[in-house]
Amino acid sequence: MSKFKKKQGNTTPGISTASLPDIVFMLLFFFMVVTKMRDTELMVTVNTPQASEMTKLEKKTLVNFIFIGRPTEKYTKQVGTKPRIQLGDKFSTTDDIPLFLAKHRESVPEGQKQSIISSLKVDKDVTMGIVGDVKTSLRKAGQLKLNYSAKQRERTK
């Protein structure tokens, strides 16, 4: 007869995983708040070029986006393959830019209107003709702060 009895019922219980869902939900909510769902469907293909001298766009509400690129496959039947401008969720021409800017300007609180930035998301294979036209009409509309959207790369040696 052994003196030491095998201890029973005192083994370490398994770690409770009951709080795991809570943790994961917390993560989930974090990501839902931090990330931004793509609100507008991109109707043009935009593959931005690379650049090294970047400035971050701080306040999202002060930024309006202008997309320029060739229409995606879905739309080539309707509008062809020539590079197009997309404002909001529709194809536009340079004539629509002043109205688009005015609409955005209205949503910006007074006092911050001079810090509105237009972000140009332009495909790298688009020619400068259309970009120049957009630039001219932005200048005519008094929108002088521009941001050429690009991907980060290292500065060349």
Partner 1 sequence: MAKKNRMANEINAGSMADIAFLLLIFFLVTTTIAEDKGVLVKLPPFSNDPPPELKLNTRNVYSVLVNAQNQLLVRGEQMDIAKLKSNTKIFIANPQKLENMAVSPKDAIISLKNDRGTKYGTYLEVYNELKAAYNELWDEASMVKFGKGFEEISADKQKEIKEEIPLILSEAEPTKFGDEK
Q: Could you say which of 61, 72, 76, 136 contacts partner 1 (CB under 8 A)?
A: 136
User: Where does this chain touch partner 1 (CB under 8 A) — which range of 6-14, 16-24, 87-95, 98-106?
Assistant: 16-24
Binding residues among 50-109 for partner 1 as defined by CB under 8 A: 50-57, 60, 63, 68, 82-83
- Closest by Cα among 39, 49, 90, 50 to 66: 90
Q: Could you say which of 32, 106, 107, 110 contacts partner 1 (CB under 8 A)?
A: 32
For 56, 63, 93, 101, 119, the CA distances from 59, given in Å and listed in that order, are 9, 7, 27, 17, 12
At 83, list the tokens.
């590079």
Q: Could you say which of 17, 78, 107, 114 contacts partner 1 (CB under 8 A)?
A: 17
User: Residue 86, CB half-sphere, CA atoms under 13 Å: how many?
Assistant: 23
Residue pointed to by tokens 């496959």: 73
Residue 129 as a binder of partner 1 (CB under 8 A): the answer is: yes
**Total binding residues toward partner 1, as defined by CB under 8 A:** 60
Choose between 14 and 111: whose C-beta lies nearer to partner 1.
14
CB 98 within 8 A of CB 137: yes
Choose between 75 and 147: whose C-beta lies nearer to partner 1.
147
User: Where does this chain touch partner 1 (CB under 8 A) — which range of 4-12, 47-55, 87-95, 99-107?
Assistant: 47-55
At 20, list the tokens.
């795991």
Cα-only R_g, the chain: 26
- The rounded distance, in Å, linking the Cα atoms of 73 and 87 is 18
> Which residues in this chain contact partner 1 in the complex, by CB under 8 A?
17-18, 20-21, 24-25, 27-28, 31-32, 34-38, 48-57, 60, 63, 68, 82-83, 117, 119-120, 122-132, 135-136, 138-140, 142, 144-150, 152, 155-156
